Amino acid sequence: MAFTLPDLPYAKDALEPHVSAETLEFHHGKHHNAYVTNLNALVENTELADKTLEDIIAAAEGGVFNNAAQVWNHSFYWKCMKPGGGGSPAGDLAAMIERDFGSFDSFKEQFSKAGATLFGSGWAWLVLEGGALKITQTANADLPLKHGQVALLTMDVWEHAYYVDYRNARPKYIETYLTELVDWDFVAANLAAAS
Ligand code: MN3
């Protein structure tokens, strides 16, 4: 069965002024959609055609992997944000962040650095591995699933994620992502489902 572009979990203008409707128009409507279209064309009439997205990511390399992983990454990324997001995590998640990073401020500093220092295109992640939280960077389409880690939060640092609204100011996009956009309830639900 062919893969389909999932709807955004909010209206296209819901993240303004931090992420514009124009950015989501292109990032979701063009970029994410192209990954879906490419993936469907690549797996059509192959043994991967009726596999799940996760199975394809685990098995594939090259172009099939890149497009499948980018479909997964973007579907996950949209859910990491919400209108009126930001703030601080609570409960078990807050306790684990304090345990594994020292403090929430220290987490924010390390996560921001991971996003800012990733050279070229890729993603910054908060993952669960061996019972501990870790911050990782992946290049291009690469993702935690391919490394035995559970994704809890991601931030797209490909230029298409921020160039319309922030031009070359990736650090400003990162700061805004953390202070205005992150949906910590989604991150906490991912942790609860993985624990
Ligand atoms: Mn993207």
49 is a domain residue: yes
2 is a domain residue: no
Banded pLDDT at 195 (limits 50, 70, 90)? confident
Same domain for 40 and 116:
no
Going from the Cα of 43 to the center of ligand 1, the distance in angstroms, rounded, reads 21
Same domain for 118 and 59:
no
Going from the Cα of 102 to the center of ligand 1, the distance in angstroms, rounded, reads 30
pLDDT digit string, tens, across residues 2-24: 999 999 999 999 999 999 999 99
Same domain for 105 and 67:
no
Q: How far is CA 39 from CA 4, 24, 25, 44, 163, in A?
A: 10, 21, 20, 8, 25
Going from the Cα of 10 to the center of ligand 1, the distance in angstroms, rounded, reads 17
Last residue of a domain, one of 79, 106, 129: 79
**Which pTM value belongs to this model?**
0.97
Q: Which domain holds residue 30?
A: 21-79
pLDDT digit string, tens, across residues 56-95: 999 999 999 999 999 999 999 999 999 999 999 999 999 9
pLDDT digit string, tens, across residues 134-170: 999 999 999 999 999 999 999 999 999 999 999 999 9
Q: What percent of the chain has pLDDT over 70?
A: 99
Same domain for 172 and 114:
yes
pLDDT at 140: 98
Q: How far is CA 43 from CA 1, 32, 53, 65, in A?
A: 10, 17, 11, 11
